[in-house]
Amino acid sequence: MTDPTYVLVHGGWGGAWVWRDLGEELTRREVPWTAVDLPSAIHGAHPNTFLADDAREVAVVANAEGPVVLVGHSYGGAVLCEAAQDVTHLQRLVFIAALVPLLGESATESVREVQARTVLDEAIQVDGDFLTLEPTLAKKALYQDCGDETADWALTQLTPQTIASLRSPRSSFDVDAPSYYVRCTLDNAVDLSVQELMAARCTEYATLESGHSPMFSMPEALCDLILAAT
């Protein structure tokens, strides 16, 4: 039986670069993987880039592989929910501190199901049709338990996120594939109460004592959980 390829899907303001350290760990363990750059967060993104556009990109990448495991972080969880029905050889879904919106619900609406303000909320700035992040607060929200060198490098990589992607509703139905949620208990971006609600929509869940970006702060432990999600 062919081993699945792990298709890694970043969150808002990110890119394939967020998987740098986890990707190295997967490679060290000889696990096939690839990472997606979502259209809603690339440099020069069109302001009318929606959740469906991101999902379409994930499906294209995933369907170029054989069996796949989709792994989504933060907003990337909403993208997984939207893309999953169009992925031909999907084995399972893995959500990392991620949003799991219901049918008809946007990523923004899923967060607001629980009234819990975070440091990320304080960091967000509106710039026309995009959202950007204030760097000092973004570091506290996204990378507070990462080394300074890694955190400062990651801050230089962040890009504007289209508002349309976060506010467009999920239109895809659930798929018949197991789902696994990794809760990050020290998260300053997606409150743990929100994560608990999202995790309840999945088949199984596990917990990491980490901030919002365990792919940087504890890639080995995160890799263990992802590969254990069978």
**Domains plus CATH for the chain?**
5-228 (3.40.50.1820)
Quick one: which of 161, 151, 118 has its CA closest to 15? 161
Can you give the pTM of this predicted structure?
Answer: 0.97
> pLDDT of the chain along its 230 residues, tens only?
689 999 999 999 999 999 999 999 999 999 999 999 999 999 999 999 999 999 999 999 999 999 999 999 999 999 999 999 999 999 999 999 999 999 999 999 999 999 899 999 999 999 999 999 999 999 999 999 999 999 999 999 999 999 999 999 999 999 999 999 999 999 999 999 999 999 999 999 999 999 999 999 999 999 999 999 76
Query: 148 vs 153, 154, 208, 217, CA distance in Å?
Result: 8, 10, 20, 11
